[in-house]
Structure 1
Amino acid sequence: MIEISGKKILVTGGDGFIGSHLVEQLVDAGAIVTALSQYNSFNNWGWLEHTACLEKINIVSGDIRDPHFCRVITKDQDIIFHLAALIAIPYSYIAPQSYVETNITGTLNICQAALENGCDRIIHTSTSEVYGSAQYVPIDEKHPLQPQSPYSASKIGADAIAMSYYNSFGLPLTIVRPFNTYGPRQSARAVIPTIITQIASGRKQIDLGDTSPTRDFTYVSDTCNGFTRIAQSLNTIGKTINLGSNFEISVHDVFHLVAKLMQADVELFTDPVRIRPVRSEVVRLWSNNSLVKSLTGFEPVVSFEEGLQQTIDWFLQPHQLTRYKPGIYNV
């Protein structure tokens, strides 16, 4: 097992939802963490602005689309967790080239830089969206890949680039394929924050898209624990590994469970603007997580209802809720 304590670790996308939680977990484990925040003229570090470990991490601002910058930030790093990506599916319909440039070319840049700098361990983040609508369940790592959106196509390409560096150059890389992570700090483009923030703002009519699809939800602390366990195991090198809960629930049932937990008398409304193109909608996702269990012993510990309650409690804090715009559909 690879020890995390004392290791120099780079987290790309450290300013994001999962990335900021992962940064905190790595700091707690004794790692020396550098977090990449996407460059902006406001020098805003995203969710890292509000983390308790802010003074214990080194934050750099930049863009993974620049190969020269990637060579600089990966220098002297022992482990790289590569989470930086464009992830909003609806926006990928509008700006597909930006997904290719960030997700595919950005991954190429990180892999090449890690190879040149002799990094010991690379964890590349994929997504369950690459599987498309399940042809069989639960979905294991051998399930066919189906590019049902420009976003999923870009992640399939990024995964292929990453694995090619393992096969061609021996880069010590693992592809981690999370299913639907949720929890505090998640973007309003995701379904659970969409429901919670609309209810919390006092709306009685909750706007959603298609609520028939099913998803496999994992609480963010469990996802981060899975990332860490995978990075610590030498048995995971060269493999693609699902990270999910082996649990399936429809968006419709999620809506009613959130409403119940929030004790809200609300009505569900289908907003046609939020409906994906017919062939683009992924109608069923359910993870087979037996491989990650066998290789690392990982098992989610936060139940879905418990995780929902923790997420609701976080969003109901006034200073958190003001960061969101529940009245605006965020693509």
Structure 2
Amino acid sequence: MQIEPIFFTPIFQERIWGGTKLAQQFGYDIPSERTGECWAVSAHPNGQTFVKNGPFEGMPLGQLWDEHRDLFGHFPSEHFPLLTKILDANADLSVQVHPDDTYAREHENGELGKTECWYIIDCKKDAELVYGHNAKTKTELKEMMDNGQWDKLLRKVKIKPGDFFYVPSGTIHALCEGTLVLETQQSSDTTYRVYDYDRVDEKGNKRELHLEKALDVITVPHTDAYSQPHVVKYDGTTITTFIESDYFTVQKWNIEGTATFKQSKPFLIVSVLHGEGELISEGQSYSLTKGDHFILPYQFGYFSIKGTLEIISSSPSQHP
């Protein structure tokens, strides 16, 4: 049986800060005008994506992982390790922090920790995000949080389309208004909310904060985890490696014409952010268009992509 790309049908999560850009930019059929997240490739129980082609059509990714681990190189993890999202921050997200694996395992019923990264697809002029804090000690951090000194505490960073940010567990962070982001993360939905701008929901209630756990896990003092991209160019193709971390490797492929690759990872997650074209493997052609998300399985081997496309790819670290 020929090994095929495994395409997925995204699912959508409504959020208080969501908007309509997922429909405007990608043509997705979103559930409302407050759609904040497209879970593009996910096996997390809070939102699984389903295979939409081939012999496994209709199967959730979690079941595919459990029953056909050979497609993933028998990667040594109980759960599918990664989650790919697109986020539409139509308003500021809450300021938050995520635990590492050890803390989450102990305090969140065995859940994975959450290290993540962001690729800025689009943003408004003069957009920014929250990345880190200015406290020197845990005592100073707690005092500034208790006193509501958020402007003094939080570090703001100017952003533009094409920027990349690595966000390890323990990093205070928040996307801000007018930002469209592709997020690659560990497969976790554990978030400790630190500050939510005193917003209320449609019932007039403020969202829950998780200050005690947040204080446990915030890295003090903050250390930037900026990555240094590595760029390789050949024959109209530019490959930018943004990060090779303990959890994932993330690349951007800018293709104009035809580019040939070899899939040598346990599996490769691929998201088409711009353009259209086709993927060619062993004489078979698969059309690609903006908003497509798919996995290239283990031993997929050599393949070509033809067209004009901007693609983000991710793969798990070889040794979790």
Structure 2-normalised TM-score?
A: 0.27
The structure with the largest helix share of the pair is 1
Higher strand share: 2
